[in-house]
């Protein structure tokens, strides 16, 4: 038990920061999903307490995800009402548990590093672009809508242009005050003493924001309108509080549409979670490795619980996870405590929460976004060469100009093309053997693994051999040779005779001059 609370001094401040980041996102994602506002808070609470307790991740934070908002919105319409949709969430949770038992967590390891870095950077860029309107007091689009085409009919960039006509002095001023506090705290005060490390800048910025709102609410010019404040449901009593919970309609369990949506939620939520796990493990300065199959089990359990009490689907989410890491979170305690903070605050102090300006929370998210998308990272990826920079860039642009899942899909597709090109280039080596004047003696050394991806490269080299050549084919290092390649070599036996090309095959068994059949030879090789 003592080991769990080893990093309590850093986890507590981190949990407060994550709480302030999570609060508007939970509400905004619920609004963007066409679901009750309270459902987003339920998902945040369950993601923190339930998933946080079961997960093997030390720094990952779970909750409602922006990437699922469009799916949820469409699903509620398809199934007729929110209670029917909750049944799909519960079933989706069981499917995720099954995926964990089937060891599907390994999928996340097959995403290229350039795509994962592009995902982090793209999310950082989109956070900045989406939070700028909130920073200046323009709140036409709901928090948590990270898609390029927004629910208010605008897109990310047209929203910025519209914002210029609706800048509010009060929210903008307190936003700048909050941003100044955050930068000053991070760059200067955090180095001055432990008290400034325990008492985090975001908490101070929020307190200043609440005080500003309380002092200026009667001032016509500087007052912050209610639309620019956090909007947590305020129950009148315990009965009305409990009345905010919804429960699944179990009678629709045989509806095929429910199962289709359940599988969709399970697959998308699992993919987002695995990508987030991979990304947060890369961000983690202590390089902890999250057990992915256990994570699927934790997420599945969380979705079952969330669905049973009226919450949105849950995934591990990069915005809250990166805020946790940047704030010094070291163990799962920070994620769990953030869940309890959400629960306690909506019960005890909902009216106080509703005094927090959204522009202050936008300032916190702007700092998170900047740390995810630092300009020097773009230069670093460019310096690594086109094989890293192109998938990275495509992922970033895909996330900014379409949405998260499409951006990752585009980046992965480009990454696969890069792998194919690299495989094409690395399938074999061809060089002259012997004296420099001996132009007719060439040697081709096949790589350790040669698959059908390499057909084009090898076929091109063989077809390009001049007549009267002496070819040495070295397969001593080859441990896997695809049947497609063997067929190419078989066909080349006939071409070699026509062009008077002599072939010497060098293998672990020895040397063979002008082999008549490669098929029989490679069938007999125990290592292939």
Tens digits of per-residue pLDDT, 343-381?
999 999 999 999 999 999 999 999 999 999 999 999 999
Range scoring the smallest mean pLDDT among 206-215, 462-471, 483-492: 483-492
Mean local confidence (pLDDT), 170-199: 85
Place of tokens 């080349």: 492
In this predicted structure, what is the pLDDT of residue 477?
A: 82
Confidence of residue 46 (pLDDT cuts 50, 70, 90): very high
Strand pairing class (502-507; 510-513): antiparallel
Q: Give the separation between CA 263 and CA 91, rounded to whole angstroms.
A: 8
Q: Give the separation between CA 423 and CA 401, rounded to whole angstroms.
A: 30
Strand partners, 449: 480
- Longest CA–CA span in the chain (Å) reads 97
User: By the 8 A CB rule, do 21 and 327 touch?
Assistant: no
Instruction: Give the other-Cβ count within 10 Å of 436's Cβ.
Output: 6
Radius of gyration of the chain (CA): 29
Residue 167 pLDDT > 90, yes or no? yes
In this predicted structure, what is the pLDDT of residue 144?
A: 77
How confident is the model over 74-109, as pLDDT tens digits? 999 999 999 999 999 999 999 999 999 999 998 887
In this predicted structure, what is the pLDDT of residue 1?
A: 47
Q: Give the separation between CA 158 and CA 141, rounded to whole angstroms.
A: 12
| Closest to 27 in 3D by CA, of 408, 499, 346, 267 | 346
Confidence of residue 444 (pLDDT cuts 50, 70, 90): confident
Share of the chain above pLDDT 90, in %: 57
Tell the burial category of 35 from Cβ atoms under 10 Å away from its Cβ (0-12, 13-18, 19+): buried
In this predicted structure, what is the pLDDT of residue 229?
A: 94
In this predicted structure, what is the pLDDT of residue 329?
A: 92
Per 3-state DSSP, the chain is made up of helix, strand and coil in percentages (nearest 5) of: 65, 10, 30
User: By the 8 A CB rule, do 167 and 136 touch?
Assistant: yes
Place of tokens 């077809």: 463
In this predicted structure, what is the pLDDT of residue 520?
A: 56
Share of the chain above pLDDT 70, in %: 93
In this predicted structure, what is the pLDDT of residue 515?
A: 77
Range scoring the smallest mean pLDDT among 54-58, 180-184, 189-193, 380-384: 189-193
Cα–Cα distances (Å) from 473 to 273, 431, 451, in that order, read 46, 11, 17
Residue 284 pLDDT > 60, yes or no? yes
Residue 226 pLDDT > 70, yes or no? yes
In this predicted structure, what is the pLDDT of residue 521?
A: 61
In this predicted structure, what is the pLDDT of residue 430?
A: 57
**Three-class SS string for 34-95?**
CCCHHHHHHHHHHHHHHHHHHCCCCCCCEEECHHHHHHHHHHHHHHCCHHHHHHHHHHHHHH
Residue 504 pLDDT > 60, yes or no? yes
Q: What are phi and psi of 252, to 5 degrees?
A: -95, 15
Q: Name the average pLDDT for the chain.
A: 88
Confidence of residue 238 (pLDDT cuts 50, 70, 90): confident
Cα–Cα distances (Å) from 186 to 23, 192, 327, 362, 370, in that order, read 22, 10, 10, 17, 13
Instruction: Give the other-Cβ count within 10 Å of 419's Cβ.
Output: 14
In this predicted structure, what is the pLDDT of residue 424?
A: 67
Q: Is residue 481 classed as helix, strand or coil in its secondary structure?
A: strand
Residue 4 pLDDT > 70, yes or no? no
Q: Give the separation between CA 520 and CA 391, rounded to whole angstroms.
A: 41
Q: Is residue 3 classed as helix, strand or coil in its secondary structure?
A: coil
Mean local confidence (pLDDT), 307-322: 96
User: By the 8 A CB rule, do 43 and 63 touch?
Assistant: yes
Q: Give the separation between CA 366 and CA 426, rounded to whole angstroms.
A: 43
Structure tokens at 4: 């769990």
pTM of the model: 0.82
In this predicted structure, what is the pLDDT of residue 526?
A: 42
In this predicted structure, what is the pLDDT of residue 437?
A: 45
Q: Which domains does the chain have, with CATH numbers?
A: 8-172+226-374 (no CATH), 427-524 (3.30.750.24)
Range scoring the smallest mean pLDDT among 109-123, 223-237, 398-412, 476-490: 476-490
In this predicted structure, what is the pLDDT of residue 130?
A: 93
In this predicted structure, what is the pLDDT of residue 48?
A: 97
Confidence of residue 506 (pLDDT cuts 50, 70, 90): confident
Place of tokens 């163990």: 331
Confidence of residue 301 (pLDDT cuts 50, 70, 90): very high
As a whole number of Å, the end-to-end CA separation of the chain is 52
Mean local confidence (pLDDT), 327-352: 94
Mean local confidence (pLDDT), 393-408: 91
In this predicted structure, what is the pLDDT of residue 20?
A: 94
In this predicted structure, what is the pLDDT of residue 90?
A: 98
């Amino acid at each position: 038990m003592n080991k769990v609370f080893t990093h309590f001094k850093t986890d507590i401040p981190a949990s407060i920061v994550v709480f302030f980041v999570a609060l508007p996102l939970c509400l905004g994602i619920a609004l963007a999903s066409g679901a009750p506002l309270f459902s987003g808070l339920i998902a945040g609470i369950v993601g923190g307490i339930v998933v946080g307790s079961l997960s093997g991740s030390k720094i990952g934070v779970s909750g409602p995800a922006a990437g699922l908002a469009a799916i949820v919105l469409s699903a509620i319409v398809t199934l007729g009402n929110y209670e029917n949709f909750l049944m799909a969430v519960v079933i989706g949770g069981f499917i995720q548990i099954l995926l964990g038992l089937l060891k599907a967590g390994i999928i996340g390891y097959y995403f290229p590093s350039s795509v994962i870095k592009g995902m982090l950077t793209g999310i950082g860029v989109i956070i900045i672009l989406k939070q700028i309107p909130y920073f200046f007091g323009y709140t036409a689009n709901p928090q948590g809508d990270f898609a390029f085409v927004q629910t208010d009919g605008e897109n990310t960039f047209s929203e910025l242009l519209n914002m210029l006509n609706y800048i509010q002095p009060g929210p903008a001023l307190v936003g700048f005050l909050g941003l100044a506090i955050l930068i000053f705290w991070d760059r200067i005060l955090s180095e001055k003493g432990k008290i400034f490390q325990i008492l985090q800048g975001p908490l101070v910025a929020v307190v200043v924001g609440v005080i500003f709102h309380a002092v200026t609410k009667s001032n016509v010019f500087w007052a912050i309108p209610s639309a620019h404040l956090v909007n947590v449901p305020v129950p009148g009593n315990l009965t009305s509080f409990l009345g905010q919970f919804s429960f699944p309609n179990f009678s629709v369990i045989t509806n095929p549409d429910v199962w289709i949506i359940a599988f969709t939620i399970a697959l998308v939520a699992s993919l987002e979670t695995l990508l987030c796990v991979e990304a947060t493990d890369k961000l983690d300065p202590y390089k902890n490795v999250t057990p992915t199959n256990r994570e699927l089990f934790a997420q599945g359990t969380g979705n079952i619980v969330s669905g049973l009490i009226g919450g949105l689907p849950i995934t591990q989410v990069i915005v809250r996870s990166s805020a946790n890491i940047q704030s010094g979170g070291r163990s799962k305690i920070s994620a769990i405590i953030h869940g309890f903070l959400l629960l306690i605050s909506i019960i005890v102090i909902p009216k106080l929460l509703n005094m927090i300006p959204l522009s202050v929370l936008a300032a916190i998210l702007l700092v998170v976004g900047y740390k995810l998308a630092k300009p020097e990272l773009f230069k670093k990826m460019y310096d690594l060469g086109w094989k890293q920079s192109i998938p990275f860039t495509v992922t970033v642009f895909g996330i900014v100009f379409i949405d998260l899942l499409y951006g990752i899909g585009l980046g992965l597709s480009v990454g696969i093309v890069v792998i194919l090109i690299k495989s094409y280039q690395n399938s074999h080596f061809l060089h002259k053997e012997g004296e420099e004047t001996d132009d007719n003696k060439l040697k081709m050394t096949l790589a350790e693994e040669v698959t059908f991806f390499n057909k084009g490269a090898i076929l091109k080299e063989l077809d390009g051999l001049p007549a009267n050549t002496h070819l040495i084919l070295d397969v001593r290092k080859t441990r896997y040779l695809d049947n497609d390649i063997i067929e190419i070599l078989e066909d080349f036996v006939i071409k070699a005779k026509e062009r008077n090309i002599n072939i010497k095959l060098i293998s672990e068994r020895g040397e063979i001059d002008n082999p008549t059949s490669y098929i029989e030879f490679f069938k007999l090789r125990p290592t292939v």
